[in-house]
Amino acid sequence: MSVRFHVGGKVVDSVDLLKKRHWSWRLDVWPFAVLYAAWIVTILPSLDFVDAAIVLGGLAVLHILVFLFTGWSVDFRCFVQYSKVKDIHQADACKITPAKFCGSKEVVPLHFRKLAGSSSSVEEEIYFDFRKQCFIYSKESETFCKLPYPSKETFGYYLKSTGHGSEAKVNVATEKWGRNVFEYPQPTFQKLMKEHCMEPFFVFQVFCVGLWCLDEYWYYSLFTLFMLFMFESTMAKSRLKTLTELRRVRVDGQTVMVHRCGKWVKLSGMDLLPGDVVSIGRSTGENGEDKSVPADMLILAGSAIVNEAILTGESTPQWKVSIMGRGAEDKLSIRRDKTHVLFGGTKILQHTPDKVSFLMKTPDGGCLAVVLRTGFETSQGKLMRTILFSTERVTANSWESGLFILFLVVFAVIAAGYVLKKGLEDPTRSKYKLFLSCSLIITSVIPPELPMELSIAVNTSLIALARRGIFCTEPFRIPFAGKVDICCFDKTGTLTSDDMEFCGVVGLTDSMELETDMSKVPGRTVEILASCHALVFVDNKLVGDPLEKAALKGIEWSYKSDEKAMPKKYVYAILGIRTEMQVGDPLEKAALKGIEWSYKSDEKAMPKKGGGNAVQIVQRHHFASHLKRMAVVVRVQEQFLAFVKGAPETIQDMLIDLPSSYVKTYKKYTRQGSRVLALAYKFIPEMTVSEARSLDRDVVESGLTFAGFAVFNCPIRGDSSTVLSELKASSHDLVMITGDQALTACHVASQVHIISKPALILCRSKNGEGYEWVSPDETEIIGYSEKDVETLSETHDLCIGGDCFEMLQRTSAVFKVIPYVKVFARVAPEQKELIMTTFKTVGRITLMCGDGTNDVGALKQAHVGVALLNAIPPPSTKSKDEKSSKDESTKSAKSKKPKPAIEASKASSANGEGPSKSRAVARLESASQSAGNRNLTAAEKQQQKLKKLMEELNEEGDGRSAPIVKLGDASMASPFTAKHASVAPTTDVIRQGRSTLVTTLQMFKILGLNCLATAYVLSVMYLDGVKLGDVQATISGVFTAAFFLFISHARPLSALSAERPHPNIFCSYVFLSLLGQFSLHLFFLISSVREAEKYMPEECIEPDSEFHPNLVNTVSYMVSMMIQVATFAVNYMGHPFNQSITENKPFLYALLAAVGFFTVITSDLLRDLNDWLKLVPLPSGLRDKLLLWAFLMFLVCYTWERLLRWAFPGKIPAWKKKQQLAEANLEKKRI
């Protein structure tokens, strides 16, 4: 009995200890050595040579099978080649069972090494490497744990870091973590081809080909073999291309200053170690391109502006700040504290060295940072692993295909048993031919093209999605997309636009009317809007939250990089910067625009008009989603102040004096769908700048004075309502999950069809005891009871806030409430994850659509996560004429001289694209845009990108291989990455998912019917002397291959149907369809052969005799062809999911060709062709009957299939039973 360690991680589930047997004691060696010896000693002398050779052949086949099974099954290899052990010190290998959807089991070597610097010989480290991750044995927890990196320590620990102080420590760290490189061996075509040829299906297919050869079907065998090798070599070539592309990704080897052994030294980025203290800043290579950050680092001092597009796909630069001011005892969470972390692979666009006297100074003016993770453990490394280990062969419904084949094998075994029984009754029959016939019957039900067809079904969808700018790193999720029954959407930036509009300020007087004239707004309020933000200049462009930009523009102040707010006109006159060049977060842009202040690259804000005071920003406490607020310490003249803005309900608890109309005012505007921020301030006692910078956040954000509400309008995207209406009409439940206020969320949800019934929001009771359901206008109040939630959801659409989650978890009501809620408001990222896991637990198939930065957890948890990145509209399908004319216009645009930038912005506006869109595209292209095409509009740029993408896909994507997913295309956030500023990609993903499901289902049905018919022909009819000719079998195989190829390339319809596809193969519809059609095919086949026998003379045909053309053989071949064509035509599932037969032209032409071919051979028009096919002429009476029966058979099959589709439509899975089960399990845990 071995010891099993339960790791329970995201990658490894469990580990079993093994010890490799000596080669002579392996179960694939000594038992066969005994058998071969027994053959030599007993069998060879006692039997004649031929019989002894047959026995030896059987032994050899068995030995080969055992050898092959050690390659196919990890469990079998462990059983044969390893023995299980209890003591870890006796083990030399381990069997790794990965977590679900993380690949297949593997056997990896177990390593033992003495720790460097260890005085005791007992101290040793036991570890194994699995998929580029190291797992170490922990004696304390008595299991394997991931190699720890210093990425979860306290901020106080990091602030004391001075790097590795001695060579010994450097050696220990190098041995522990290794070099900072991405190392994986370059595979060769021969190695990959060998791997593909060792696949169980491939070996089985070659075995079948061998059997057909023994039965004298040479042409058919060679045709099948050629087809197999062509397909496998294409797949191997595709994988080689992908792996070669990935090998080009390297850790940037830029030289960085590292503090080691008490001094600063220059080292390559590949020599960095976790714990190293480094100086990092913007660095350019020989060609002028920005160098990337070599590892994940935590900024100790200084700040940086970083482009993280390579990881998240999001082109808006991110501001990274130091951990100064964070609580010394607080622990680092990379997910929560990402504003302090520089991720490996990202590019620093701008950096600012430390402004305060930190203990350690950088020698080159860079930011001081400590290395957290290196190699494959960095964020870039994790994304690399995801892509690298998803390059394995992709299929759909693997477990179902196994069960389906098992179902067919039952029929085959019955047929083979019948042939064996009849054959053994005749002593004159050749035993060799009899066993060959039985082998052929059993193998015939496992179609050799099955894995090929399943791969094509998924790859076709991957290529179709890539052509729409949607990239997938986990192809197994595509069939899930077809089963999705609930679609969840983030609000801000997903359903609503990034273009914020600053409306004005309210709440400063008793009047609840909006004040839009900024000259009438108190100066302090304007100063808060002008300076309490995270905007920054990158290459003379203002970057950050568009809401804050809009506010600054609205108050007509400007902002400079010395952290001062100042009059906008004055600054713009100096630097000549146009507002069109401002890019970034819409909320902050809107604030800047609304208050008509400007913000400049010396970090100052000041008013455009009048003589307002400049505001100098001293210290920022950045916005955090879990805090729902941000704060700054500023200096106005010589006075220090704290400015705070955030969610009204959060700021409410920090105010000294709460206005009586506070709640009433903000609720009025949130009900209208506006975004409302509460503004507040406090005076700070006189102190030095360094003391002001070191103030704790808690001190800054307490004892505040209310300064009004800033109101922003966040318009809904043009196509959000249409897309969600289509999803709702196509049998999907819709849910909104947002960090915004509940009233705002409900208003937007009502605009986009998420809620259509009266809304109720779960809130705390006014007396503070318990909870109640309240309508948005507070006219309807219903007491909360978890038992009534299901009933209440039938008449109302329910909304709950993030503050209710704790209560739901405390009362174990999560499964009773969450499944019935339509709108989740004020939820933190961790709560979004909880919502997804709850939906999954109760049996819903979930889709989550959000951005790739805030919704990472939820996107990963959903069955189908779609991250929307980069503000580029999706490509529209154009006619060839339009496309060619646009190509010409693009060419002419290239040939023209570049226009001034102002004309370019005008041109983009003239094309119906606002300044925001042109700015977004300018931002996206700025890093790599060449001088020759700077004048292109957003649409032309997008067209060029898509044209290039199409050319790449046309080179690579032939339907047999999946498209290559490159870094920058994929996001570490989600399995699906859509480069569009629209929710439309969700319908594309669902459409392709449904198409893949339907295509897979029809393939199984067609293969099932073909195989059942083949089993009958090879058994019952074979005993009657009916055989197919070699050429006949080859022609039949060619038609089958062509039909399968064309149905797998059927494109999905543009509109989603209300009807859903059947999610599983095993359902009443499929079973009854197969049974009914097979019965009809069998009846037609038997009747036709019996009719043909009437025209034949009485003669005895031996089953094992060679093929000779006769009437019965001719009729059976023609009937088989008719059944084959009818099977494809009847079971092709076109509308409402895919193109109909008439729209799928290649398939239609293939069917017509088959019907034409059948008509020609039946009517005997070309005698030479019939002679080549070894077909005899049919009597006219028989021919007419055959044609009539064929037509009737097709008609009845078609009617039966249509009747079943009507009687058994696809439905939303019944999830309420699973929900009740989940509730019961939770109750048991509580007890």
State how far the Cα of 1018 lies from the Cα of 581, in Å rounded to an integer. 75
Catalogue the E-assigned strands of 269-389.
277-280, 296-301, 303-307, 318-321, 341-342, 347-352, 367-373
pLDDT at 420 over 60: yes
pLDDT digits (tens, 9 = 90+) for 1109-1122: 777 778 888 888 88
Q: Are 943 and 886 in contact (CB under 8 A)?
A: yes
Backbone φ/ψ region at 843: left (φ over 0), alpha (ψ -120 to 50), beta: left
pLDDT digits (tens, 9 = 90+) for 114-162: 766 554 455 678 888 888 888 888 888 788 888 889 988 998 999 888 8
Around Cβ 40, how many Cβ atoms within 10 Å? 12
pLDDT digits (tens, 9 = 90+) for 1130-1140: 999 888 888 88
Q: Residue 237, class by beta-carbon neighbours within 10 Å (0-12 exposed, 13-18 middle, 19+ buried)?
A: middle
Q: Residue 791, class by beta-carbon neighbours within 10 Å (0-12 exposed, 13-18 middle, 19+ buried)?
A: exposed
* Measured CA distances, 193 to 209, 229, 245, 964 (Å): 19, 9, 18, 19
State how far the Cα of 678 lies from the Cα of 364, in Å rounded to an integer. 42
State how far the Cα of 834 lies from the Cα of 820, in Å rounded to an integer. 15
What φ, ψ does residue 952 adopt, rounded to 5°? Answer: -60, -45
Polymer length of the chain: 1231
Structure tokens at 773: 């359901």
The pLDDT score that the predictor gives to residue 1007 is 82
What φ, ψ does residue 720 adopt, rounded to 5°? Answer: -60, -45
Q: What is the DSSP letter of 531?
A: H
pLDDT interval class at 408 (50, 70, 90): confident
- For this structure, is 653 an active site residue? no
Map tokens 């249509």 to a residue: 1202
pLDDT interval class at 581 (50, 70, 90): very low
The pLDDT score that the predictor gives to residue 961 is 53
Please state, for a pLDDT cut of 70, what percent of the chain lies above it: 77
Map tokens 């645009």 to a residue: 893
User: Which residue among the candidates 485, 490, 498, 499 is catalytic per the annotation?
Assistant: 490
Q: What is the DSSP letter of 497?
A: -
* Measured CA distances, 892 to 35, 79, 918, 932, 941 (Å): 79, 69, 21, 12, 14
The pLDDT score that the predictor gives to residue 553 is 73
Close Cβ partners of 564 (under 8 Å, ≥ 6 residues apart) = 600, 602, 603, 604, 605, 606, 614, 615, 616, 617
Close Cβ partners of 718 (under 8 Å, ≥ 6 residues apart) = none
**Fold annotation for 720-868:** Rossmann fold (3.40.50)
The pLDDT score that the predictor gives to residue 503 is 86
* Measured CA distances, 370 to 362, 531, 1185 (Å): 12, 30, 86
Q: Are 982 and 920 in contact (CB under 8 A)?
A: no
State how far the Cα of 268 lies from the Cα of 252, in Å rounded to an integer. 9
State how far the Cα of 653 lies from the Cα of 675, in Å rounded to an integer. 19
* Measured CA distances, 1147 to 336, 554, 1011 (Å): 53, 60, 21
Contacts 24+ apart (CB under 8 A), 506-514: 506/665, 506/669, 506/708, 506/709, 506/711, 507/659, 507/661, 507/662, 507/665, 507/666, 507/706, 507/708, 507/709, 508/707, 508/708, 510/661, 512/661, 512/664, 512/665, 512/668, 514/669, 514/711
Picking from 201-205, 296-300, 583-587, which range would have the lowest pLDDT averaged per residue?
A: 583-587
- DSSP element (H, E) containing 640: strand 639-646
* Domain range 501-713, CATH class: alpha beta
pLDDT digits (tens, 9 = 90+) for 716-752: 888 889 999 999 888 888 999 988 888 888 988 998 9
Q: Are 239 and 256 in contact (CB under 8 A)?
A: no
Question: What order do you get walking across the sheet with 303-307 strand by strand?
Answer: 318-321, 303-307, 347-352
Prior bond of 294 cis (ω within 30°): no
The pLDDT score that the predictor gives to residue 342 is 92
* Measured CA distances, 1136 to 261, 264, 683, 999 (Å): 70, 68, 66, 13
The pLDDT score that the predictor gives to residue 798 is 92
The mean pLDDT value of the chain amounts to 77
pLDDT digits (tens, 9 = 90+) for 629-650: 899 999 888 888 999 999 898 8
Structure tokens at 487: 């679609």
Close Cβ partners of 1203 (under 8 Å, ≥ 6 residues apart) = none
Catalogue the E-assigned strands of 189-276.
255-260, 263-268
pLDDT digits (tens, 9 = 90+) for 659-716: 888 888 888 888 888 888 999 999 988 888 878 877 888 888 889 999 999 988 888 8
Q: Are 488 and 849 in contact (CB under 8 A)?
A: yes
pLDDT digits (tens, 9 = 90+) for 1144-1190: 888 888 888 888 888 888 777 777 777 777 777 878 788 888 888 98
pLDDT at 586 over 70: no
The pLDDT score that the predictor gives to residue 956 is 42
User: Using only C-alpha atoms, what is the Rg of the chain?
Assistant: 35
pLDDT at 955 over 70: no
Report the pLDDT averaged over residues 1211-1217.
Answer: 64
Close Cβ partners of 690 (under 8 Å, ≥ 6 residues apart) = 356, 357
Q: Can you say how many angstroms the Cα of residue 513 is from the centroid of all Cα atoms in its chain? A: 46
What residue spans define the domains of the chain? 4-148, 255-388, 394-460+994-1231, 501-713, 720-868, 883-960
pLDDT digits (tens, 9 = 90+) for 793-814: 888 899 998 888 888 888 888 8
Structure tokens at 1085: 């086949």
pLDDT digits (tens, 9 = 90+) for 255-310: 889 999 888 999 988 899 999 999 998 877 666 677 889 999 999 988 888 888 77
pLDDT at 11 over 50: yes
pLDDT interval class at 1094 (50, 70, 90): confident
pLDDT digits (tens, 9 = 90+) for 360-370: 788 888 899 99
Q: What is the DSSP letter of 1019?
A: I
The pLDDT score that the predictor gives to residue 1198 is 94
* Measured CA distances, 111 to 91, 95, 359, 442 (Å): 9, 13, 41, 45
Decide: helix, strand or coil at residue 501: strand
Close Cβ partners of 973 (under 8 Å, ≥ 6 residues apart) = 312, 852, 853, 855, 856, 859, 860, 865, 867
In this structure, CATH architecture of domain 394-460+994-1231: Up-down Bundle (1.20)
Parallel, antiparallel, or unpaired: how do β-strands 639-646 and 771-774 relate?
unpaired
Close Cβ partners of 231 (under 8 Å, ≥ 6 residues apart) = 452, 960
The CATH number assigned to the domain with range 255-388 reads 2.70.150.10
Comparing CA positions, the residue from 1030, 1022, 1040 lying closest to residue 222 is 1030
Q: Residue 657, class by beta-carbon neighbours within 10 Å (0-12 exposed, 13-18 middle, 19+ buried)?
A: exposed
Structure tokens at 305: 């502006």
- DSSP element (H, E) containing 643: strand 639-646
State how far the Cα of 747 lies from the Cα of 114, in Å rounded to an integer. 64
- pLDDT, greater one: 956 or 410: 410
Structure tokens at 376: 């494959």
Report the pLDDT averaged over residues 402-431.
Answer: 78
